[in-house]
Structure 1
């Protein structure tokens, strides 16, 4: 089988595992397990908490002792057992602990998936930059297919979503061992020590001497806090329309409707080079921030019928701009703004702010906000979404004021092409 096809299969199932529960677990915890908003937010925060340290630890293990494709397989075998165990618990404390462990192995498996793909492409003398994007897009497709399966099978309130995810992990645990073998590399201890501390230790702090980059990282935390809010609360929000619109499409297929957000990602990714080239990073990030205002605002005024449904669909469409214009453009800017010998450290900090600190802040704070605006077990969703929209607007205004940047057309786009 063509190696690009094999890697596409790898990426498809890697994100199928995540898509099976990421946007539906919130309604399962709310409806089936009767968790509070704060508890649901805490469970989703485990993704951010584990992202602070597990990818680094697992990466070192892959570099020193266990070939990356084997370690990837071992992670997914552990995920299988944990997901099946998750289906047997109902108390918050046990559910939280098990989900924490699931993310301890799933979150680093994402970076291991990339490492496997890069290693195999390099081994086959294939251009990574040219070939990987067309491989990675199958990950997004896998996420969408999983979300649609959960919706069509009506499993958003069922533990079957975790069984489906475990099945895909079991496949990956076996499939990983069929991939071309890689080798571990143990460099000289002195070099290894210096490399580690350069990336994760005191020398990395010198990155913050660049005031503009430091401010950008601060805003990355604030922006990272909004990235998972609609993944956590989108399905519970749509399902609550069942009180007044029990037969509506948005209620019966809430996961399907929300998955349109992921479809829009594949479209807006292609628009990033044009916007970055023409307007520069400040305008692109501001576009993302304003898009989040509309993402939340459209949820606040939307409903499952007539124009209301149009607003919900518009929210799904604009999500791709809100998410990708910040994540991908931000990574490009960090690469461009950082000295060559510190770019890996800077990307690690960017990943920590957007995938760790930000989501932790967003998961917990959104849980408090949802609980605060819940009266007699009924959530005041329009108010909740307008609070989130107001937060995004404040961040946008503050970013426009405090982030000083003058677009250099030739310099910026030269780096992107490179």
Structure 2
């Protein structure tokens, strides 16, 4: 079995075990359980809370103490075991802590999977910039297949989605122990400082203006990254209360419609090397930010009937919005940081986007929606999505003005070395 194929299996399962429930947990909690947006927002914020500290911690451990592939395997097994317990929980406060436990184990595996892939590809003399995107695209395919499996099996509003994710997470955990070894990059010297011993070297990146600004905007945009994952399926499913749309394809197969977003990802992931070499990180991230504006605006004016084309177009735009930020940001970290702290630096990127950013986005969005966009139990989805579009527009304009970066194609080429 080739190295690339083995990494492809890892990438596929990495996102399959997340996609089985991430998009549909909103339908499970809001529509099936009848919980409020604030209660659901709190549960979804567990992704962010765990991302604030766990990716950085596990990155440090992988950099200095334990083989990355072994740590990766243990985390997935623990994640799968916790998911098995989710169906027995009926109280939103209890579910918050259960999902938080699951996310503490899962979220750091995203950045670890990147580090493992980069490490293995380089050790086997592959060009990372060319080889990584086609491998990573299978993660998106795994996410899509998981969404379809959940929707088509009738599991999007019940607990079966968690059983599906759990079984395959444990399988992935066991499989990861067969991956090529990724030992710690740096042994701790006897004369090391306390910061070096604790593995906090990567935090020095905040001392550089460009990197600090990059991480800050990663946090701001991170607040928008999960909003359509949080509310997208609930938004479309809510149209079933309107007779005109109750039996429409967009309502019955809302998760399948939303999976177009991930299908779009598969195309834009493969386009990243071209865009990075041609335009550079700043322009690619700006494209991503303006794509988020369009993503939300199309949701605001779309519906499952005559406006279904806008929902579909929004899903297509999502591929550019999500990938151009996440994958390009990860590659930017890989090209601008020392190899001794790269796992830690990837963890910091995850901390700022899916940690502080996603936490503020999930918490504040739930509170704001309940306070200003719900009247007598009716959600004003049009203005909800428009408010998200306005936020993304402000971030894009500020980034264009403040982030100074001169594109050098050679910097991108160095990712393979």
Both proteins in one fold, TM over 0.5: yes
Hey, what's the Cα distance between the residues in 2 that align with 1:173 and 1:339? 29
Note the C-alpha offset of 1:251: 0.7
1:415 to 2:411 alignment: yes
Given that 2:264 and 2:316 are in contact with CA atoms closer than 8 Å, whether structure 1 keeps it comes out as yes
Question: What is the CA distance between 1:5 and its match in structure 2?
Answer: 2.5
What CA deviation, in whole Å up to 9, does each residue of 1:150-202 have, x standing for no partner? 1111211010000100111122233234445566688244366567469625x
**What SS does the aligned partner of 1:304 have?**
coil
1:147-226 aligned within 5 A:
147-180=147-180, 187-190=187-190, 196=196, 200=200, 204-205=203-204, 207-226=205-224
Quick one: distance in 2 between partners of 1:334 and 1:122?
16
CA change 1:336–1:237 in 2 (3 A) is: same
1:208–1:186 CA distance, 2 compared to 1 (3 A): closer
Is 1:321 equivalent to 2:317 in the alignment?
no
Name the CA shift for 1:8/1:385 in 2 (closer, same or farther; >3 Å).
same
Secondary structure of the corresponding residue to residue 34 of structure 1:
coil
Match of 2:230 in 1: 232
Q: CA RMSD in A?
A: 2.9
Deviation at 1:93, TM superposition (A): 1.5
Please give the alpha-carbon distance, in whole angstroms, between the structure 2 residues aligned to 1:340 and 1:176.
Answer: 22
Return the alpha-carbon distance in structure 2 between the equivalents of residues 142 and 397 of structure 1.
Answer: 34
Which SS does the other structure have where 1:415 is aligned?
helix
Name the structure, 1 or 2, with higher relative contact order (CA <8 Å, separation 6+): 2
Matched, 1:304 2:304: yes
Q: How many Å separate the matches in 2 of 1:221 and 1:175?
A: 33
**Stretches of structure 2 lacking an aligned partner (at least 5 in a row):** none
Once residues 77 and 404 of structure 2 are traced to their aligned partners in structure 1, the CA distance between those partners, rounded to angstroms, is: 47
CA drift at 1:64? 6.0
Matched residues, number: 410
- Alpha-carbon distance in structure 2 between the residues aligned to 1:183 and 1:402: 38
Deviation for aligned residue 1:330: 3.4
CA distance in 2, matches of 1:337, 1:62: 19
Moved more, 329-338 or 353-362: 329-338
Which TM-score applies when normalising by structure 1? 0.88
2:41 maps to 41
Structure 1 residues 115 and 274, CA gap change in structure 2 (3 angstroms): closer
What's the secondary structure of 1:53's corresponding residue? helix
Kindly state the Cα deviation for residue 377 of structure 1 after the two structures are TM-superposed: 1.6
Alpha-carbon distance in 2 for matches of 1:57, 1:370: 33
Change (3 A) 1:63 1:213: closer
Contact 1:198 1:204 in 2 (8 A): no
Shift of 1:224: 0.9
Secondary structure of 2:7's aligned partner: helix
1:90 aligns with: 90
Query: Is the contact made by 2:272 and 2:324 (CA closer than 8 Å) also made in structure 1?
Result: yes
Q: Which runs of 5+ in 1 are unaligned?
A: none
